[in-house]
């Protein structure tokens, strides 16, 4: 299994927070206080998207968010996470990196 690191950045690319992925079966991203990764913005749904283990892969799945989850300009429902991938969630950019572990 590949260990990935998630960097939550603003649109200017400035790192706000970093998280290690792969230890939990599911990580919820959203603005609700129960979320694992919180993004405090009105354009982010309470439970916006999930990062899930699927065998050796990590999958990002939109949870029916009103604002959408974007890979580039394309709205995505489900996408396999790859090293260097950037996903737009409201005003934030989720950047994924292979941690090399």
Over residues 72-90, the mean pLDDT reads: 96
- In angstroms, what CA-CA distances link 17 with 10, 13, 95? 10, 12, 11
Q: Say what the pLDDT of residue 24 is.
A: 82
Count the helices and strands in the chain (H runs, E runs): 0, 11
- pLDDT tens, position by position, 35-69: 999 999 999 999 999 999 988 889 999 999 999 99
**Cα–Cα dist 33/14, whole Å:** 23
Query: What pLDDT, on a 0 to 100 scale, did the predictor assign at position 80?
Result: 97
Confidence (pTM): 0.92
Taking the chain, what is the end-to-end CA distance rounded to the nearest angstrom? 9
pLDDT tens per residue across span 7-34: 999 999 999 999 988 778 899 999 999 9
CA distances from 5 to 29, 50, 62, 87 (A): 14, 15, 19, 13
Can you tell me the mean pLDDT for 81-90? 96
3-state secondary structure of 31: coil
């Amino acid at each position: 299994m590949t260990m990935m690191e998630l960097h939550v950045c603003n649109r200017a690319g400035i790192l706000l927070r970093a998280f290690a992925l792969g230890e939990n079966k599911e990580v919820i991203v959203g603005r609700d206080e129960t979320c694992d990764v919180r993004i405090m913005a009105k354009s982010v749904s309470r439970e916006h998207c999930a990062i899930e283990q699927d065998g050796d892969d990590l999958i990002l799945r939109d949870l029916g968010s009103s604002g959408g989850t974007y890979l580039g300009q394309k709205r995505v429902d489900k996408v396999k996470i790859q090293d260097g991938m950037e996903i737009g969630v409201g005003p934030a950019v989720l950047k994924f990196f292979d941690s090399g572990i």
